[in-house]
Chains A and B, each alone.
Chain A
Amino acid sequence: MSKFDSKRITEIHQHLHTHLPSDSALRVKTLESLLVEKGLVNGETIDAWVELYSEVIGPKRGAEIVALAWTDPEFKQRLMNNASLAIDELGFLGTATGHLQVVENTPLVHNLVVCTLCSCYPFSILGIAPAWYKTAAYRSRIVRNPRSVLEEFGVEIDDSIEIRVWDSTAELRYLVLPQQPEGSKSMDLKLLSSLVTRNSMIGTDRFLKINTRRKS
């Protein structure tokens, strides 16, 4: 029998629906303990992966990329030409960024990123995706009425600005390069990167401020 049989997977899901505990923590525990008991995974490696994405890898990396692109025109050129190569210079290449694309906001263009079919996200530069990015509400509406979504995020956008929504339907992943805020020209890289919010790199934030701390 083929190992790629949709009907069989549907039947397995029906069994799982009936037999798995309802509590998510118990479901994951079931998977983890069976894999550990069977010698398929190593507990310490699991711990290390959790730590890597809790402590080391997160949206601060994306913010560093953005700040560098603002201040170094040659780096920005390399980033726009081949983003995967450019982030490799910084040691940020990794999970889901093998085919990274950078899309740049301008006074006339605003970019937004989504994955309507699953929840594709550039993990190695933005970390784990926020919960809202994975909801049916965001995935369904952002391609149809992006302006109403921006409004919910508190972003007012003029009708004259073109919105470009990037639906990640292949293995390309997208990073939005937000505009550098007015009055930040003299700041150093560290301060600049502290102005970059995670949402601005997905597109649900547009107007970065120079005197508020990062929130989301």
Chain B
Amino acid sequence: MDGIHDLGGKEGFGPIEVDEEHVAFRYIWEGREWALSRCARAPHISIDWWRHCRELIQAEDYLNRPYFDSWAQTDLSTYINADILSIEEIKTGKADNSSTKNLPVPVKLSLEYLRKNHRENAIKFNNPERSEPSIKINQSVLTNRNGHSGHTRLPQYARGRHGVIHKYHGAHIFPDLSAKGIKTYQNLYSVAFEAAELWPEANGRRDRIFLDLWESYLIEVN
């Protein structure tokens, strides 16, 4: 979707706050939200649907509210959507347990357990049985000119642009369909774009921008 989240190349956000305190969580609630997002999620959710729900936060809130705050709002939206929480419960802060049905029982895990088993959180998104690229390395490609109103990972700034296939990564879950609950795989490539192909003021600069793009975002060109 052409939402506010698609920030690459947008101008006017001012300087970057470079001198921040070096801590994982600046506030206790940030750590709580991070942990909540690790412990539970709405059923049948995919990372792509979750990201889409975050993109759908009203633009003013997306830009102005703190980062982990937007995670909390995204989580809440997915629980409401899955009929696990209601607006009424959120208004009152009191759970109506009569509506709770067949929910998974939470597990109590210690720090030691989480540390030892952390590698289980390294989720794989590729299909190991598919590793045949259909576009060759160094092949020139043109990206799709348009996006669509659903979730997509082809940013606006790289649409309708010429690039070169840099690396092949196998077939990965295609996010545009995964965000609709449909799991399919498509070849994934790192594609290199000359800065001057993307930005009018970059003429003469030798910099490059690399994006990881799925096959259906790309058209082979001569």
Q: How far is the CA of A180 from the CA of B19 in the complex (A)?
A: 24
Interface residues on A, range: 35 or more
Is A171 located at the chain interface by the 8 A CB criterion? Answer: yes
Closest-by-CB residue of B relative to A129 is: B67
Given A16-B90, A170-B172, A215-B22, CB of A40 within 8 Å of CB of B106:
yes
Residue interface mask B180-222, A partner, CB < 8 A = 1: 1100000010100000001101100011111111100000000
Q: In the complex the two chains form, is B207's CB within 8 Å of A24's CB?
A: no
Q: How far is the CA of A116 from the CA of B6 in the complex (A)?
A: 6
Q: Tell me which of B33, B84, B103, B209 has the highest count of chain A C-beta atoms within 10 A of its own C-beta.
A: B209
- In chain B between 115 and 129, which residues have their CB closer than 8 angstroms to a CB of chain A? 115, 118-119, 121-126
- In chain A between 156 and 178, which residues have their CB closer than 8 angstroms to a CB of chain B? 162-172
Which of A2, A3, A37 is in CB contact (< 8 Å) with B97? A37
Point out the residues of chain B lying under 8 angstroms from A56, CB to CB.
Answer: 111, 115
Which of A50, A170, A171, A204 is in CB contact (< 8 Å) with B32? A50
Residue interface mask A1-34, B partner, CB < 8 A = 1: 0111010111011111101100011011111111
Q: In the complex the two chains form, is A54's CB within 8 Å of B10's CB?
A: no
Q: Report the minimal beta-carbon distance from B174 to chain A, rounded to whole angstroms.
A: 10
Which of A28, A40, A145 is in CB contact (< 8 Å) with B72? A28
Given A140-B10, A143-B209, CB of A127 within 8 Å of CB of B119:
no
Q: How far is the CA of A19 from the CA of B106 in the complex (A)?
A: 28
Q: How far is the CA of A38 from the CA of B40 in the complex (A)?
A: 12
Q: In the complex the two chains form, is A17's CB within 8 Å of B58's CB?
A: yes
The number of residue pairs between A and B whose CB atoms lie closer than 8 Å in the complex comes to 327
Q: In the complex the two chains form, is B56's CB within 8 Å of A132's CB?
A: no
Q: How far is the CA of A169 from the CA of B125 in the complex (A)?
A: 13
Q: How far is the CA of A208 from the CA of B145 in the complex (A)?
A: 41
Given A9-B53, A124-B118, CB of A28 within 8 Å of CB of B40:
no
Point out the residues of chain A lying under 8 angstroms from B124, CB to CB.
Answer: 98-99
Q: Tell me which of A42, A46, A130, A153 has the highest count of chain B C-beta atoms within 10 A of its own C-beta.
A: A46
Q: In the complex the two chains form, is B212's CB within 8 Å of A172's CB?
A: yes
Closest-by-CB residue of A relative to B204 is: A159
Given A25-B28, A46-B32, A48-B111, CB of A117 within 8 Å of CB of B5:
yes
Q: In the complex the two chains form, is A13's CB within 8 Å of B73's CB?
A: yes
Q: Report the minimal beta-carbon distance from A114 to chain B, rounded to whole angstroms.
A: 8
Q: In the complex the two chains form, is A98's CB within 8 Å of B180's CB?
A: no
Is B134 located at the chain interface by the 8 A CB criterion? Answer: no
Q: Report the minimal beta-carbon distance from A45 to chain B, rounded to whole angstroms.
A: 5
Q: Tell me which of B82, B93, B105, B214 has the highest count of chain A C-beta atoms within 10 A of its own C-beta.
A: B93
* 9 tightest Cβ-Cβ pairs between the two chains A and B: A116-B8, A49-B35, A170-B212, A37-B95, A94-B118, A98-B122, A137-B13, A50-B31, A42-B106
9 of the cross-chain contacts (CB-CB < 8 Å) are A15-B80, A30-B93, A38-B100, A88-B122, A118-B51, A132-B18, A135-B13, A164-B208, A171-B173
